[in-house]
Amino acid sequence: GAGVSQTPSNKVTEKGKYVELRCDPISGHTALYWYRQSLGQGPEFLIYFQGTGAADDSGLPNDRFFAVRPEGSVSTLKIQRTERGDSAVYLCASSLRGGTSEVEQFFGPGTRLTVL
């Protein structure tokens, strides 16, 4: 079966531009997560969706970052007025359900964002 997919795999943009990163979770998974992985670091939590709603967006670094999941499946991470410090790999994960510490998260291959 299909895993978590992310598009594009690579995105190069200029400082100040707007970008959208897309995540297709595993079918039937109600929970979806976004992480950011900077070079040499582990992934850092950004936002968690349960269904269509953002259950926890405490990891979003500032108001330039926004994410949606309008139909409870595909999610889009949106970054406005990109800065060079936003350059990182953005990872998406999904799980069958949220709200528990034991559930496994399934990760996509990531989108590598480079801001020039």
Partner 1 sequence: AQSVTQLDSHVSVSEGTPVLLRCNYSSSYSPSLFWYVQHPNKGLQLLLKYTSAATLVKGINGFEAEFKKSETSFHLTKPSAHMSDAAEYFCVVTYYSGTYKYIFGTGTRLKVLA
Binding site for partner 1 (CB under 8 A): 3-4, 33, 35, 40-45, 48, 55-56, 58-59, 91, 93, 98-102, 104-110
Backbone angles phi, psi at 86, to 5 degrees: -80, -10
65/52 Cα distance (integer angstroms): 17
Q: 16 vs 109, which CB is nearer to partner 1? A: 109
For residue 48, the number of C-alpha atoms closer than 13 Å in the C-beta half-sphere is 14
Question: Closest distance between partner 1 and the C-beta of residue 90, in Å?
Answer: 12
Q: 29 vs 110, which CB is nearer to partner 1? A: 110
Question: Closest distance between partner 1 and the C-beta of residue 77, in Å?
Answer: 16
Q: 14 vs 100, which CB is nearer to partner 1? A: 100
Burial-class residue 22 by CB neighbours within 10 Å (0-12, 13-18, 19+).
middle
